[in-house]
Structure 1
Amino acid sequence: MLTLSCFDHYNAVAQTGLAYGRLGTGLPSPADVVSLYNRNNIRRIRIYDPHQPTLQALGGSNIEVILGVPNTDLQNVAASQANANTWVQNNVRNYPSVRFRYIAVGNEVSPIRGDTSQYVSFVLPALRNIFNAISSAGLGNQIRVSTAVETGLLGNSYPPADGAFRDDVRSYLGPIVSFLASNNAPLLVNLYPYFSYVDNPGSISLSYALFTSDGVVVPGGIRYQNLFYAILDATYAALEKYGASSVEIVVSESGWPTAGGTAATVENARLYNTNLIQRVKTGTPKRPGRAIETYIFSAFDENQKNPEIEKHFGVYQSNGQPKYAISFN
C-alpha cells in the first residue's frame, strides 16, 4: 500500500514547486538533486518521465511529485488497459514511499504543433487507462490524472474575460476537459509570459511580464497587475466556454530564461521567478484569494534542448549554487 497522504488539491498551500528536466550534460545525480530540493525547502517537483534513479532518490523525501507519462509512451498506454496497469505498477506502485500528486499523461500534445500532433489520438485513451489503473490500485483519492497543455491552444486571450480556445483544437481538447471535470482533476497548463512578451513587445511591456508594473485596466474595468494573471484568467474563461468552470488549473511550468534571447537576462529571471513565488500566494481577479499551485521551470539549464532559448531556464547551476538569489520558502 502506498504511504500517501490525502490532501486537498484545490486549497493547496502556495508553495511553489520546481520542475526537474534532465536534458543537459554535467547535471548532478538524482540523489544530489533531491538533497538540493531539501536544502532549499522545495517541497514539490515535476519530472517528465519515470526515470528510475530519480524515483528511487525521491523515496522517503516527502517531496510531492508530478510524474510524466512521456509522449513517446502514449501509444502503448492507450493501446490497452493492461499496458496502462503495467505502467502504473512499474512506475507508481513499485515506489511506495514516493508522494505522487499528479500523473501528467503527455506534455504539450497539440493538433496544431507538428512535433506533437502525431500523439493527439492517444491522449484521451491514455488518460482513461492511467486513471483506471490508478483507481484500481486504490489511489484515486491521492493521485489525480491529467495532461499538460500550452497556452498556444488559446485563440483569444484579451481581454481575459473573452478568453477562448482555438476552434481547431475543440475536437481534441473538449473531450479531455470533460474527462477532467468528471473526475475532479485539474488541467495542467504550461504558462510563459516570457514568450507572450517577446512575441508582442509592441503591446506588452516588460514590466507587466515581470510583475513589476502598476498593472493595466482591461476592457470591463478590471485591473490586471501582471501578464501571468491575465493569461491564467483567459484560460479559465476558455474552460468556462467549454462548460468546465469546475476544472482548476495547476501551472505546471512557468519561468524566464537567463540567456539566449530577447530580455533573457539573469536579472529578469530573478525578478520574474522571485515575484512569481509571491504572486501565486494570492488569486487572480477571476479567482481571488485562491493560491495558484505553480511549478517553476527548471532546476537546471538543459544544453541538449533546442532552440537556443530553451537551454537557459535553469534556476541552479550544476554545482547546486543558485544563478541568482531566490527563496522557495
Structure 2
Amino acid sequence: MPIYTSLHISFFPPLNSLSLFSSKKKSINNMDSPLRSTTPLFQILVTFFLLFFLGLNMFKEAESLGINYGQVANNLPPPEKVLQLLHALKITKARIYDTNPQVLTTFANTNIELIVTVENQMLATLCDQQQALQWVTSHIRPYFPATNITGIAVGNEIFTDENMSLMTYLVPAMVSIHTALVKTGLSQYIQVSSPNSLAVLANSYPPSAGSFRTDLNEIMQQFLQFLATTKSPFWINAYPYFAYKDNPNKISLDYVLFNSNEGMIDPYTKLHYDNMLYAQVDAAIFAIARMGFNGLEVKISETGWPSKGDTNEIGATLQNAAIYNRNILRRQLLNEGTPLRPNVRLDIYLFALFNEDMKPGPTSERNYGLFQPDGTMAYNVGLLSTTSSNTEPASASISLASSAPPMVKRVGYQSLVNWMMMFVYFWWLCKC
C-alpha cells in the first residue's frame, strides 16, 4: 500500500412545493387563452424545444476522475504549473496530503474541488476542540471559499498504522474538527472523513462476506456513527495490484486490470464481477452494512498501479500501469457504479499525479505517477487523436472529465438563469 498510503445545495424547492400550477384549473377553463387556438402538437413542441435548449447549459460540469497530488519529492513543478496541468487534463477534483498554503492559494478561484489532509501526527493535538478550532481558523478559513475545499481527510489509514495509539485519537479529532467547521459556518460545505486501507477488512471474498476485523469493532462503530451523523462518505484506499502481486498464480491479471475476462459470480448475491476493484468496494459496503450503516456512501480515495518495481514486485510494469489506469478512466467516463450499487456513480481518486522520488519503501512506491516530475507523461492513459504518447502535457488535450449525460451537478449563474426562464415559461403557460 502506498505509504500515504462534495455538499449538494439546492436553491430551488421541489416542483410540487411551488405554486407553479396554482392557476392550472383556471387556465384550462379560460377559453380566451392564446394556447387554445394552437394545436396540442405545437404546445408540445414549444415545451420540448425550450427544455432542450435550456438543458444544453443547465449542467455546467460533469463528474470527473479525481487525482491524488502527493508532494514527497524534491523535483516537482511548482503549484502554478501543476494547476496548468490539471486544467489541461480537465481534472476538477484533487486531494493533497497536507494543507500546503502555496497549493491552497494557487488553487483559489479555479474549478478544482480540493480535499486536504490532517497529518497523522496531528491527531492527538486536534482532539482538543480549542486546538481544532484554531487549526480550522488558520488552515481552512483563510482560503475558503475562494479555494473550493470540499473535504478534510483526518489522517490516512489510521486503523492499520504501525502506531496503534492513533486509533484512539481518530474519532475525537474528527468530532473536534467537525465542531470547528460548524462554529465557523463551514460544515455544510466541507465533509470530514478518514481514508482506510483495505486491510481493515477481515474478509473481502466473496464481496457479500465482507466484514471488518473484530479487533476494530468498537472503534469502527464509533467511526461509522460519525460518518452517518455528518452524512460523510467512507473512503477506502483500494489497490488490486497488491492482491495480484501476492498471489499471481491464483489471481487473473485480466481480472485486476479491468480487461475482458470471465470474472466471478458472488455465490450469495449472484452478482457478477468483471474486476477486482469493484469487488473490493462492495466488500467494504457489506462490511459497513453488517455494522448497521447500510446507507453510507463509499468512495475510493486512492487506487493506482506502479509502473516500475523491484524484481519481487510482480506486475509492476509500465504496460500494466497504463492498462489499469486507462481502464479506470474508461469506466469513469461511463459513470459506472459497482454491481451492488449500479445506479450510484463510484467516485475514484487516482494515485497519483506524479512519481515521487523521496518516498521510502520499495521501488514501486516512487513510481505510481501518471507524470514524471518534469511534466512528461510516464505513460499514455488516453490522449485524444491530436496528440501522441510523447506529447508534453502543456500541449496535450487530455480529458479525464466525464462525457456521459447523467450524474451531473447544477452549478453557476447560467443554471440560475435557466431555472428562472423555465419558471417564467410555466407561469405564462398557466396564466394563459
1:306 equivalent in structure 2: 360
Question: Is the contact made by 1:13 and 1:291 (CA closer than 8 Å) also made in structure 2?
Answer: no
2:116 equivalent in structure 1: 67
Superposed, 1:197-276 pairs within 5 Å as 197-214=244-261, 215-220=263-268, 221-260=270-309, 261-276=313-328
Question: Is the contact made by 1:13 and 1:293 (CA closer than 8 Å) also made in structure 2?
Answer: no
State percent identity of aligned pairs: 36
Q: CA RMSD of the aligned region, Å? A: 1.6
2:370 equivalent in structure 1: 315
- Structure 2's unaligned 5+ residue stretches are 1-5, 10-60, 382-398, 402-432
Q: Residues of 2 paired with 1:141 and 1:323: CA distance?
A: 38
1:328 equivalent in structure 2: 400
Bigger radius of gyration among the two: 2
Amino acid at match of 2:302: E
1:154 to 181, 194, 201: 201
Cα offset, 1:320, TM superposition = 1.5
Which has the larger strand fraction?
Answer: 1
**Secondary structure at the residue paired with 2:155?**
strand
Cα offset, 1:297, TM superposition = 0.5
* Residues 214-223 or 59-68, more deviating: 214-223
1:84 equivalent in structure 2: 132
Amino acid at match of 2:337: G
Q: Residues of 2 paired with 1:6 and 1:153: CA distance?
A: 27
Q: Residues of 2 paired with 1:200 and 1:175: CA distance?
A: 34
Q: Residues of 1 paired with 2:329 and 2:190: CA distance?
A: 24
Q: Residues of 1 paired with 2:322 and 2:285: CA distance?
A: 27
Q: Residues of 1 paired with 2:73 and 2:252: CA distance?
A: 32
Question: Is the contact made by 1:69 and 1:103 (CA closer than 8 Å) also made in structure 2?
Answer: yes
**CA offsets per residue over residues 21-44 of structure 1, 9 Å max, x none?**
111121111111111111110101
**CA offsets per residue over residues 52-83 of structure 1, 9 Å max, x none?**
111111111220011101101111111x1111
1:127 to 150, 174, 179: 174
Q: Residues of 2 paired with 1:63 and 1:275: CA distance?
A: 23
**Secondary structure at the residue paired with 2:327?**
helix
Q: Residues of 2 paired with 1:138 and 1:278: CA distance?
A: 38
**Secondary structure at the residue paired with 1:117?**
coil
Cα offset, 1:141, TM superposition = 1.6
- Structure 1's unaligned 5+ residue stretches are none
Cα offset, 1:6, TM superposition = 5.0
Q: How many residues are aligned here? A: 319
2:49 equivalent in structure 1: none
Amino acid at match of 1:202: N
Q: Residues of 2 paired with 1:286 and 1:219: CA distance?
A: 13
Structure 2 residue 93 is matched with structure 1 residue 21: no
Q: Residues of 2 paired with 1:279 and 1:232: CA distance?
A: 15
TM-score if structure 1 supplies the norm length?
0.93
Q: Residues of 1 paired with 2:251 and 2:331: CA distance?
A: 19
Structure 2 residue 8 is matched with structure 1 residue 7: yes
Structure 2 residue 80 is matched with structure 1 residue 40: no
Q: Residues of 1 paired with 2:80 and 2:164: CA distance?
A: 35
Amino acid at match of 1:207: D
Amino acid at match of 1:98: T
**CA offsets per residue over residues 244-286 of structure 1, 9 Å max, x none?**
1111111110000000121111111111111112224211111
TM-score if structure 2 supplies the norm length?
0.71
